[in-house]
Amino acid sequence: MGYFISIFLGTFVLEDLALASSLALVAQNKLSLELAFLACFLGISLGDVGLYLIGFAASQLEIEKHFTFFKKFSSTISKMKSSKTLAYSIIISRALPGTRLPTYLIAGFLKYSLFKFIILTLISVFVWVLVALGGGRSLQYVFTDHWILNLGLFLIFLQFLKSVLPKLTDHWQRKAMLYSWRRWLYFEFWPAIVFYLPIVPYYIYQSLRYRSFFTPFYASPHLKHGGLIGESKWDLLQHINKNDASTLKAFKVAKNLDFAGIKVLLNDNGIEYPFVIKPDIGQRGFGVRIIRSDFDLSEYLLLSDFEKIIQRLSLYSHEAGVFYIRQPSEKMGHIFSVTDKAFPYVTGDGTSSIGDLILKDQRAQIIAPIYLERFKDQLDSVPKNGKNVLISECGNHCQGAIFFNGSHLISEKLTQEIDRIAKQMPDFYFGRFDVRYKDAESLLEGKNFEIVEINGSGSEATHIWDSRTTLIDAYKTLFKQWSLLFKIGDQVRRLPERHHEVHVLSFFKDCAKVIFRKESISTSS
């Protein structure tokens, strides 16, 4: 027991010496590895909390009011209190010599959440002591002589911090983690890299069949990369007839246009609040938001650094995705698929908060982090009994909308109307029209709908995300879809008047942008 207490107290004097002494005592069988770990873990953890408390005690003296330095950087200091960067610094400083003392003192001085600090400290100390005692000299050899492995492990650790720590330090996100495993029971919630894996060998097969890896790139020759990825939404929207009842007023906004300039364009185009704003080049609902006030617009502009499209908000309450395909040799195309969409909501019971209602819903709890982030400022509010609270108004599956197979909405009149609109765009053979519509009866008549967005060759038949669709049927649909895309691309490529270049490096660059793009703008609620 004497060795245990010595190691425990030694951590307050010199942490590294205490760890080294622990290794020596374990090697001499004078102290068990378990007790050595416990002594180091408890001592270092308490020492870290002590540093935090010293910083916190200093904050009570209100010294920031007496020094010009603190007054000058008061806004920056205020932001640091809630910044995720501070949370990451608390963890990383554990492995960076000389940074732990100032970091922990600053955390206390800024009154960073004590609960979050303790969680972060316990995790970092646990990993640190485990590595130090578990690996010993052999691990030190690996880290000093095998720097590539060291770098790889460090990057993995940083990714862990980025993805897991924000959830562990947030009350609602921790609750949501209890249900996260359920997403693996339903393929509609699988990560894209997992679900689309079987498409890779099928794509290779079709490429060999048509003797070109780039055949699909020719399907929409007027779009960048054939519309597979990184295409401009405006390149399609600008061609549809502005006088059609199905056309929503819209205009493109330059990347650096400021608030005042946009207000002028809104006035010139007769668009008022609320309206929709979204990236000109987007993917899977990225950055789509309903703007309801000057504040919303200012906030969006502050967080965005890309060209945008502003569009009048449709007042129709229903939404559908109409997948259209026409081969160049055909006079008229056909509707390959229709996806009907529903916007999820929770119903108040007079006692449960919005956060609890989300976590009680069997479907919402699977992707609860999306909804919880969207309602982060309202999660503790309690809706009245019987009141419905919409938790998503964005018609994207990855943003929480519910998709259904809408094959019952396919009709000859709707096909004729979609075909007429599609032919307004040059060489448009393959893509999906996302539309808002009044009701099923008028949509079947090809009336009372408005086009929200048009997607190119990168579109998919989204009815596969209907929970009633089997995994086999979903892949059958995707294989058929890609087969038709290859067929259309091959036909277009063989047309003598068509001249379309494929820029391979640019394509992979745009793919990387989509994969690693960080969502900094919350979608509409």
What are the structural domains of the chain?
2-169 (no CATH), 212-341+398-516 (3.30.470), 345-393 (no CATH)
Q: Identity (one letter) of the amino acid at 157?
A: F
**Residue 52, pLDDT score:** 87
Report how far Cα 445 is from the mean position of its chain's Cα atoms.
Answer: 37
Task: Say if residue 45's pLDDT is above 70.
Answer: yes
Q: How confident is the model at residue 441 (pLDDT cuts 50, 70, 90)?
A: very high
Q: How confident is the model at residue 520 (pLDDT cuts 50, 70, 90)?
A: very low
**Residue 523, pLDDT score:** 47
Task: Say if residue 230's pLDDT is above 80.
Answer: no
**b/e burial code for range 50-89 (CB count within 10 A of at least 16 → b):** ebbeebbeeeeeeebeeeeeeeeeeeebeebeeeeebbbb
CA separation for the pair 144, 123 (Å, rounded): 24
Q: Pairing between strand 318-325 and 334-342?
A: antiparallel
Which SS3 state, helix, strand or coil, does residue 480 take?
Answer: helix
CA separation for the pair 270, 275 (Å, rounded): 11
Q: Per mean pLDDT, which of 28-32, 37-41, 151-155, 364-368 is the most reliable? A: 364-368
CA separation for the pair 281, 284 (Å, rounded): 11
**Residue 457, pLDDT score:** 85
> CA angle 150-155-156, nearest 5°?
100
**Residue 73, pLDDT score:** 44
Mean pLDDT is lowest, of 65-74, 296-305, 436-445, for 65-74
What confidence tens digit (pLDDT) does each residue in 196-227 have?
999 999 999 999 999 888 888 888 877 777 67
Do 326 and 433 touch, CB atoms closer than 8 A?
no
Do 462 and 432 touch, CB atoms closer than 8 A?
yes
- 256: which DSSP letter? T
- Burial class for 316, CB neighbours closer than 10 Å (0-12, 13-18, 19+): middle
Task: Say if residue 107's pLDDT is above 90.
Answer: no
What confidence tens digit (pLDDT) does each residue in 156-180 have?
666 666 666 667 667 888 888 888 8
Quick one: what percent of the chain has pLDDT higher than 70? 80
Average pLDDT over residues 236-249: 90
Q: Pairing between strand 402-405 and 449-455?
A: unpaired
Quick one: what percent of the chain has pLDDT higher than 90? 33
> What is the token pair recorded at 471?
């995994």
Task: Say if residue 65's pLDDT is above 50.
Answer: yes
Average pLDDT over residues 180-199: 89
Residue with the larger pLDDT of the pair 128 and 361: 361
Residue with the larger pLDDT of the pair 189 and 58: 189
Q: In the beta sheet, which residues pair with residue 319? A: 341, 436
**Residue 334, pLDDT score:** 96
Q: Identity (one letter) of the amino acid at 107?
A: A
Task: Say if residue 233's pLDDT is above 50.
Answer: yes
Average pLDDT over residues 414-430: 93
Residue with the larger pLDDT of the pair 464 and 83: 464
Cα–Cα separations (whole angstroms), residue 243 to 127, 240, 414:
64, 9, 18
CA separation for the pair 189, 182 (Å, rounded): 9
> What is the token pair recorded at 435?
């539309």
> What is the token pair recorded at 451?
């086009």
CA separation for the pair 339, 488 (Å, rounded): 23
What confidence tens digit (pLDDT) does each residue in 369-413 have?
889 888 888 899 999 999 999 988 777 877 788 999 999 999 999
Residue with the larger pLDDT of the pair 132 and 48: 48
Which SS3 state, helix, strand or coil, does residue 207 take?
Answer: helix
Residue with the larger pLDDT of the pair 519 and 200: 200
DSSP annotation string for 43-109: HHHHHHHHHHHHHHHHHTTTGGGT-HHHHHTHHHHHHHHH-HHHHHHHHHTTTSTT-HHHHHHHHHH
* Cis status of the peptide bond prior to 274, with omega within 30 of 0: yes
Do 11 and 47 touch, CB atoms closer than 8 A?
yes
**Residue 72, pLDDT score:** 46
> What is the token pair recorded at 344?
């999820």
Q: Identity (one letter) of the amino acid at 94?
A: R
Task: Say if residue 77's pLDDT is above 60.
Answer: no
**b/e burial code for range 436-452 (CB count within 10 A of at least 16 → b):** bbbeeeebbebebbbbb
**Residue 281, pLDDT score:** 79
Residue with the larger pLDDT of the pair 287 and 450: 450
Task: Say if residue 443's pLDDT is above 90.
Answer: yes
Rounded mean pLDDT of the chain?
Answer: 82
Q: How confident is the model at residue 515 (pLDDT cuts 50, 70, 90)?
A: low
**Residue 338, pLDDT score:** 96
**Residue 299, pLDDT score:** 86
**Residue 203, pLDDT score:** 92
CA separation for the pair 507, 428 (Å, rounded): 20
E-strand ranges in 135-254 read 250-253
Mean pLDDT is lowest, of 57-71, 176-190, 507-521, for 507-521
The shares of helix, strand and coil residues in the chain, as percent rounded to the nearest 5, are 55, 10, 35
What confidence tens digit (pLDDT) does each residue in 461-507 have?
999 999 999 999 999 999 999 999 999 999 988 877 655 666 666 66
Torsions phi, psi for 94 (to 5 deg): -60, -30
pTM: 0.69
Q: Identity (one letter) of the amino acid at 522?
A: S
